[in-house]
Amino acid sequence: MKKPRVHFNTKDNMDFVKELRQRVGLYFKENNISRHANTSMRVKTIFMVLLYFTPLAWMLLSPSENLLVNYLEWFLMALGMSGIGLSIMHDANHGAYSKNKRTNQLLGYLVNFLGAYHLNWKIQHNVLHHSFTNVHGMDEDLENGVLRLSPNQPHKKIFKYQIIYAPIMYGLMTLYWVVAKDFLDAIRYAKEDLLKSQNITLKRVLWYISLNKMWYWVLTLILPFVLVSIPWWHIVLGFLSMHFVTGLILGFIFQPAHVLEETNFVELNDSSNIENNWAIHQLLTTANFANGNKVFSWLIGCLNFQVEHHLFPHICHIHYPKIAKIVKQTALEFNIPYKEHKSYLGAIKSHFNLLYKLGTGRHDYLLNPS
């Protein structure tokens, strides 16, 4: 079944949208800088890529029988995997890393080395999540069947315990992607004509996914079985721990940006109309956190500047701390909410408070149907 055609209100606060775009554009023009990656971003790219591939290469080419060394290699790969996902391939698949389309394609393909399939990622993240943030039935980041992440989703008794098991589900996220998610998503996207919109057939996508999975499993699991002289179950445990750590990192970065007590959740009406324009919708459904922590921001690809990322996904994240001042000031001038938590722990607390309320069915917070 095709997803409904959603309509944003193109007459809502357009003066704000125009002014914001002009001010951000003027920032880059006056400072004579590109919206894409700079030297700092390129250094980060090298660092994150090496953080993932160096331990993998060391494990395969210079295998150690020391269990501590092996587990350290898997842990470093988890950090590199997270860094590539949050910083490098994320910008590239948004077309934000470079003005050169080929460069974006090559760096965006890095997600395939992490066990996922880049086209599925683009559809779920760029098309569905960014276009329809926190919209029930459209934003697939909210819908996984085991967690209730929106008040518009039906309540089940099992959700009462989601505040306890949510971290486990986050930890299993990338492993599920590696094993089954890409296949299931591709079949569903074909039925919803989303693959057709990308000019590719389901048969070809399934072939690409299968091929990608095969060489990924060979590189990260089969070759360690063959080359590393430690019990096989330690290799399996190391592989699983790598994915679990990565899943935890990704889950606890993306969820505190949208699934919070402060953010809006939208349920479509019969006409599939949303009362706000797209930019205002992003401000209402998105929140920043810990923007004053420069080291933290650098490590997570400035995705704690999630408001700026959603408003300007085609701008490289390295520029978000600068344009955030412009976005916040403009929003305040037009009396539009700019949602943020001063600390990361504050955002995490809000996320778990909402998980508890959604899980227990306590709807003592504002629902935002459109």
The pLDDT assigned to 1 comes to 65
Report residue 181 as tokens: 């998610």
How do the domains of the chain map onto residue ranges?
A: 7-360
Residue 99: is its pLDDT beyond 80?
A: yes
- Rounded to whole angstroms, the Cα distance separating 279 from 97 reads 22
281: Cβ contacts below 8 Å, ≥ 6 apart = 8, 133, 266, 274
Report residue 87 as tokens: 């910083």
pLDDT tens readout for residues 248-304:
999 999 999 999 999 999 998 877 889 899 999 999 999 999 999 999 999 999 999
Q: Please name which of 38, 139, 129 lies closest in space to residue 313, comparing C-alpha atoms.
A: 129
What 3-state DSSP class applies to 258?
Answer: helix
Phi, psi of 148, deg, nearest 5:
-100, 105
pLDDT tens readout for residues 223-249:
999 999 999 999 999 999 999 999 999
The pLDDT assigned to 271 comes to 76
Mean pLDDT in residue range 65-73: 95
Cα diameter, the chain = 65
The pLDDT assigned to 363 comes to 56
- Rounded to whole angstroms, the Cα distance separating 105 from 337 reads 35
What 3-state DSSP class applies to 316?
Answer: coil
- Rounded to whole angstroms, the Cα distance separating 70 from 118 reads 29
Residue 370: is its pLDDT beyond 60?
A: no
- Rounded to whole angstroms, the Cα distance separating 135 from 34 reads 33
Mean pLDDT in residue range 11-18: 89
What is the reported pTM?
0.93
Residue 362: is its pLDDT beyond 70?
A: no
- Rounded to whole angstroms, the Cα distance separating 19 from 8 reads 19
Report residue 289 as tokens: 């956190």
pLDDT tens readout for residues 301-339:
999 999 999 999 999 999 999 999 999 999 999 999 999
Q: At what angle do helices 67-83 and 39-61 cross, to 10 degrees?
A: 150
What are the residue ranges of helices labelled H in the chain? 14-30, 39-61, 67-83, 89-93, 101-108, 118-121, 162-171, 173-176, 182-191, 202-217, 223-227, 232-258, 278-285, 294-299, 306-311, 320-333, 344-360
- Rounded to whole angstroms, the Cα distance separating 343 from 162 reads 24
- Which residues is 288 bridged to in the sheet? 340
Query: Could you count the other beta carbons within 10 Å of the beta carbon of residue 233?
Result: 8
The pLDDT assigned to 273 comes to 86
